[in-house]
């Protein structure tokens, strides 16, 4: 076995001091004579010594790392959120451990694994539909947690008003003259989908439109789902086609556009289309959409989490981020 990593004892010995003093300069405590400090620093450089974070973590019971839990890596929504997360993490010296956890029955148990692992000081759970699970255990763990993209009455949370967003979309379509409006929703199990549906219903009621069942499609948030759903709509007799479609995500809208294109149809000429999220793609594809400030969501989530970790948060933090409609070319 080759010479092992140098540790605090090597430094202490070579510098002719005790390990406690070395530890003090590592954690730059002021109670060290400048002279000995310099000597120690010099030795540390000579030996190319750097403290083991793992050992520090164990001793300090703190890891300087946070867990970010997502249901997916690729979805553009999360990429945007991640960017915000990274940007506000970079300033601090905090590591980012990324976990992908599916939104299923075992998600809380998997999160508890993370809690118990002691590898992180806090957890940010993005779009995990926590409220629809038995999160008692997590709540009792005393681990700082912030829930993003979902309102919570027990954890810190940062979220969007889905009802309002959906309402904005339908309002816009209605005010543009549409009466036959279809809604392609996301996973009905999901909080966000449920709320958006509520928003749709609310807007329909407001405009005295009636809710035609064949115009309400439940699928999931991905492009493939949007594609399928639009197919479904287009299989209706042409006279029954909606004049406008509201998709619960831009990904779905993109899929819907594909379905349209395959039949040489175009939005908004044949059927108007509005998406949701405002992912980067929406800009290039010129999709009219509801903008959820995802970058800001990520940023704020981490800021709040770090505060919670520091214990600077006396009360539960709760904030709704504003939505806005981005008018482009598909509606």
Partner DNA sequence: CTGTTAGCGCCTTCAC
Partner DNA sequence: GTGAAGGCGCTAACAG
The answer to whether residue 7 forms part of the interface with DNA (CB under 7 A) is yes
Binding region for its own copies (CB under 8 A) out of 117-125, 169-177, 192-200, 242-250: 117-125
Residue 98 near its own copies by CB under 8 A: yes
Q: Which is nearer to its own copies, 97 or 326 (CB)?
A: 97
The neighbouring-strand residues paired with 320 are 159
What are the phi and psi torsion angles at 249 (to 5°)?
Answer: -155, 155
* CA neighbor of 271 nearest in space, from 220, 192, 330, 209: 330
**Sign of the C-alpha dihedral computed for residues 68, 188, 222 and 107 taken in this order:** positive
CB closer to DNA, 34 vs 264: 34
For residue 30, CA distances in Å to 37, 57, 201 come to 10, 22, 64
DSSP 228-249: HHHHHHHTS-GGG--SEEEESS
Distance CA 245, CA 271 (A): 7
Contact between residue 92 and residue 83 where contact means Cβ atoms under 8 Å apart: no
Work out whether 18 is an interface residue with DNA (CB under 7 A). yes
Site for its own copies in 72-91 (CB under 8 A): 73-74, 79-80, 82-83, 86, 90
Q: Which of 19, 32, 65, 139 binds its own copies (CB under 8 A)?
A: 65
What token pair was written down for 275?
A: 């998406």
Is 125 a residue that touches its own copies (CB under 8 A)?
no
Two tokens at 78? Answer: 């999360």
Q: Rank residues 61 and 175 by Cβ distance to DNA and give the closer one.
A: 61
For DNA, the binding residues in 45-74 under the rule CB under 7 A are: 49, 51-52, 55-56, 58-61
Write the DSSP symbol of residue 263: T
**Residue 20 interacts with which of DNA, its own copies, none, CB < 5 to 8 Å by class:** DNA
When CB distances are held under 5 to 8 angstroms depending on the partner's kind, the choice from its own copies, DNA, none that residue 92 binds is none
The DSSP annotation for 79-127 comes to HHHHHHHHHHHHHTT-EEEEEE--SSTTHHHHHHHHHHHT--SEEEEES
Enumerate residues 192-231 that contact its own copies by CB under 8 A: none
Q: Which does 37 bind (CB under 5 to 8 A by kind): DNA, its own copies, none?
A: DNA
> Which of DNA, its own copies, none is residue 17 near (CB under 5 to 8 Å by kind)?
DNA
**Which one among 27, 29, 42, 117 touches its own copies, defined by CB under 8 A?**
117
Which residue do the tokens 């904030």 mark? 319
Q: Which residues bind its own copies (CB under 8 A)?
A: 2, 5, 48, 50-55, 57-58, 63, 65, 73-74, 79-80, 82-83, 86, 90, 95-100, 112-113, 116-119, 137, 142, 254, 280-281, 284-285
Q: Which residues bind DNA (CB under 7 A)?
A: 4-5, 7-9, 16-21, 23-24, 26-27, 30-37, 49, 51-52, 55-56, 58-61
């Amino acid at each position: 076995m080759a010479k092992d990593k140098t540790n605090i004892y090597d430094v202490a010995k070579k510098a002719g001091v005790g390990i406690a003093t070395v530890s003090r300069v590592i954690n730059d405590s002021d109670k060290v004579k400048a002279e000995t400090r310099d000597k120690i620093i010099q030795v540390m450089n000579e030996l190319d010594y750097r403290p083991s974070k793992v050992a520090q973590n164990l001793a300090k019971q703190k890891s300087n790392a946070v867990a970010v839990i997502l249901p997916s890596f690729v979805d553009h929504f999360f990429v945007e959120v991640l960017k915000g997360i990274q940007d506000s993490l970079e300033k601090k010296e905090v590591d980012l451990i990324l976990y992908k956890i599916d939104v299923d029955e075992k998600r809380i148990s998997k999160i508890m694994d993370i809690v118990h692992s002691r590898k992180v000081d806090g957890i940010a759970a993005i779009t995990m539909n926590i409220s629809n699970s038995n999160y008692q255990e997590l709540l009792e763990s005393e681990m700082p947690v912030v829930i993003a993209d979902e309102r919570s009455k027990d954890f810190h949370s940062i979220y969007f008003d889905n009802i309002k967003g959906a309402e904005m979309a339908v309002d816009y379509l209605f005010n543009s003259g549409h009466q036959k409006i279809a809604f392609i929703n996301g996973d009905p199990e999901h909080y966000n989908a449920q709320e958006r549906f509520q928003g749709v219903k609310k807007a329909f009621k407001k405009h005295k439109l009636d809710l035609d069942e064949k115009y309400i499609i439940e699928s999931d948030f991905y492009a493939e789902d949007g594609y399928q759903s639009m197919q479904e709509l287009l299989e209706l007799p042409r006279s029954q086609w909606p004049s406008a479609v509201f998709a619960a995500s831009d990904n779905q809208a993109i899929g819907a556009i594909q379905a349209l294109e395959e039949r040489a149809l175009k939005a908004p000429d044949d059927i108007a289309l509005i998406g949701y999220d405002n992912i980067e793609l929406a800009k290039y594809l010129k999709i009219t959409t509801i903008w959820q400030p995802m970058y800001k969501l990520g940023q704020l989530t981490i800021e709040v989490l770090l505060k919670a970790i520091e214990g600077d948060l006396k009360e539960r933090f709760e904030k709704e981020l504003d939505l806005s409609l981005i008018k482009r070319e598909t509606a």
